[in-house]
Amino acid sequence: MNKRSLIIGVILSAVMITSCVKDLDVTPLDPDNILAGNLSDDPVYMQQVLGKIYASFIIAGQGANGGADISASDENFFTTTRALWNLQEITTDEAICAWGDVGIADLNTQTWSPSNPFLTALYQRLSLSITYANDFINLTQDNTDPDVVVYNAEARFLRALAYYWAIDLFGQFPLTTEADGVGKFFPEIGTRQEIFNYIEDELLEIEDLLGEPGYSYPQADKGAAWMLLARLYLNAEVYTGEARWEDCITYCEKVEDSEAYALANDYRHNFSADNDFNSNNEMIFAWEQDGIHTQGYVGTTFIIESSSDAEYIRAEDYHGLTENTNWNGNRARKDFLDVLVDTIATYGDVPIPATDTIFATNPDGRVFLRQKQSIDIPSASSSGNFGIGVYKFTARNHDGSLPANYNPAYACTDFPVFRYAETLLMKAEALYRLDRTAEAVPYINMLRERAYGNTSGNVTAADIDDQFLLDELGKEFYYEAHRRTDLVRFGQFTNGNYNWQWKGGTFEGTSTSSHLDLFPIPGDEVSSNPNYNGTNNPGY
């Protein structure tokens, strides 16, 4: 594997993030680092500072073991991708965490409050990435060097991506751009509609400035911008009240028509150490991880380690890591087993053998699960020995070998943000919403043929409804930080008719209030920024 690392220790000077919370301590950690004053001396410096913006989404910061840019009791715990994963997964049927750390139980049971530390962490981390991007964009916007023009567009993409997650999770959010400069001020709060419009405008403006599809993985290219636009339009009705299905199809087709991307032959190739674009054209955009250069318990390392235990899902057996393994935290709830294998009791008309603890007889090749002590989880804080173990991500290559940069403690597996498979399912869902279900069938069956290895799992238009599509999204993207967003779009995250074990704090699961479809603004942010006028999202 020949990854080009973007994780380079540089930081802009005079950066003040948009948050007003006092515990954000953002300072240069090395006086010899490249600073804003000499950024324009060499385009190489600009690429290195751009690397800092990319890195802000996946690692804690600079220096030994990350050297966190934001002060925290555990610098790995509160990184962007790890906090995002928790909010998107353990709040749903796909995952539940056994750990007793403050805030986790609230996410497990959909009983969070504005003081939940994962909400604060992600809010602050997204703000930090936006501010890094704003300063870089301001410093490079007048530079006509062709490389720097592309770097500037990439920074604008990363800012748009941060804002996308902000409106998906929080709705309203501080809206700042390069025109605001950096320094101590109270940022204005943008509404969900305003930031949606801003993201759309930005992506349309930079679409032709970014590199050609697949030009320089893991950096963002046109394909990444098209995918973000398609996902924005897919969820537009949730964000703005206005459906944008046709626009979603338009940008999915741009990805298709580029012919730069294709499904991997092996589903698990997407979650293995050699999943980068050099060997897997399904990967459109991802957060790069490397066992040598991105050491930290973040991203895929976190998913692998937190999903392992000493008895049922041993990391050394299933995942390929051998040091600091078996954290015994995350696993799926039994309700998701119903989604992934159709029914708990049978695969169609074929009974599951009692000895098939890893569901090897299941014809769908996307199933990487293992039964634990019991599929029932007796309490929301029960040991990780209960539930359904997940071993979808691995630190090995997809053929079982070890990567060139193998580290026994840290995975080289990139965390996928956009895969080509999502292009197909977004287009299929948009066609279905427009009552063009027959046109959606081939896109769904492309994925099912890969999963089943033949046409035995193929469906027809008569098989497709809301529940089928929601289940198919779960089968394809579980543990990739999609689930909450999909459940919200289908009206099943809170007060729908789908409940799962410990949803709402009860064993059988119960309906919860629809105001939980949005997370609250962290309480410290509301109290410290007068532009919130002391009010939080409705219901909080």
* 239: enclosing H helix or E strand: helix 236-240
Q: What is the pLDDT of residues 454-492, one digit of tens each?
A: 999 999 999 999 999 999 999 999 999 999 999 999 999
Report helix, strand or coil for 419.
strand
**C-beta atoms surrounding 353 within 10 Å:** 10
- pLDDT at residue 28 tops 80: no
The least confident of 3-7, 77-81, 296-300, 394-398 is 3-7
Distance CA 188, CA 89 (A): 30
Distance CA 95, CA 407 (A): 26
Contact 65, 296 (CB under 8 A): yes
The least confident of 58-67, 198-207, 259-268 is 58-67
Where does the pLDDT of residue 294 fall: very low under 50, low under 70, confident under 90, or very high at 90 and above?
Answer: confident
Where does the pLDDT of residue 381 fall: very low under 50, low under 70, confident under 90, or very high at 90 and above?
Answer: confident
The closest of 197, 206, 189, 201 to 155, measured between CA atoms, is 206
499 Cβ contact list (under 8 Å, min separation 6): 335, 508, 509, 510, 511
- pLDDT at residue 154 tops 50: yes
Q: What is the pLDDT of residues 107-126, one digit of tens each?
A: 999 999 999 999 999 999 99
% residues pLDDT > 70 (the chain): 89
Distance CA 114, CA 168 (A): 16
Where does the pLDDT of residue 37 fall: very low under 50, low under 70, confident under 90, or very high at 90 and above?
Answer: low
Distance CA 41, CA 35 (A): 11
- pLDDT at residue 36 tops 60: no
* Res 185: pLDDT: 83
Q: What are phi and psi of 306, to 5 degrees?
A: -70, -20
Distance CA 6, CA 10 (A): 11
* Res 421: pLDDT: 98
- pLDDT at residue 6 tops 90: no
DSSP state of 436: -
Q: What is the pLDDT of residues 269-280, one digit of tens each?
A: 999 999 999 899
- 110 torsion bin: left (phi>0), alpha (psi -120 to 50), beta (else): left
| Sign of the alpha-carbon torsion through 36, 127, 7, 150 | negative
- DSSP codes, 189-218: EEPHHHHHHHHHHHHHHHTTTSBPTTSSTT
Q: How confident is the model over 408-416, as a mean pLDDT?
A: 97
* Res 5: pLDDT: 38
Cα–Cα distances (Å) from 101 to 105, 125, 326, in that order, read 8, 19, 17
Predicted TM-score (pTM) of the model is 0.93
Q: What are phi and psi of 529, to 5 degrees?
A: -105, 110
DSSP state of 516: G
Q: How confident is the model over 522-534, as a mean pLDDT?
A: 95
* Res 39: pLDDT: 65
Helix axis angle, 192-206 relative to 222-234, nearest 10°? 150
128 Cβ contact list (under 8 Å, min separation 6): 17, 19, 24, 26, 56, 69, 70
Q: What are phi and psi of 58, to 5 degrees?
A: -125, -30
Q: How many CA atoms lie within 13 A of 418 on its CB side?
A: 27
- pLDDT at residue 1 tops 70: no
Given the DSSP bridges, would you call strands 346-347 and 350-351 parallel, antiparallel or unpaired? antiparallel
Distance CA 232, CA 203 (A): 10
The closest of 222, 260, 254, 183 to 14, measured between CA atoms, is 183
DSSP state of 374: B
Distance CA 538, CA 191 (A): 13
246 Cβ contact list (under 8 Å, min separation 6): 430, 434
Distance CA 342, CA 459 (A): 14
Cα–Cα distances (Å) from 322 to 68, 111, 250, 275, 395, in that order, read 25, 35, 45, 20, 10
Tell me the average pLDDT of the chain.
Answer: 89
* Res 331: pLDDT: 97
Q: What is the pLDDT of residues 300-354, one digit of tens each?
A: 999 999 999 999 999 888 999 999 999 999 999 999 988 988 654 445 555 667 7
Q: How confident is the model over 32-43, as a mean pLDDT?
A: 57
SS (H, E, C) 56-89: CCCCCECCHHHCECCCCCCCCCCCHHHHHHHHHH
230 Cβ contact list (under 8 Å, min separation 6): 248, 251, 252, 255, 423, 426
Report helix, strand or coil for 482.
coil
* Res 77: pLDDT: 84
DSSP state of 386: B
Distance CA 459, CA 448 (A): 9
Domain extents for the chain?
1-209+489-540
The closest of 351, 313, 355 to 332, measured between CA atoms, is 313
Q: What is the pLDDT of residues 188-245, one digit of tens each?
A: 999 999 999 999 999 999 999 999 998 889 999 999 999 999 999 999 999 999 999 9
Where does the pLDDT of residue 7 fall: very low under 50, low under 70, confident under 90, or very high at 90 and above?
Answer: very low
Extract the tokens encoding 358.
């890893």
- Cα 89 to its chain centre, rounded Å, is 10
**Tell me, which fold does domain 1-209+489-540 have in CATH?**
1.25.40
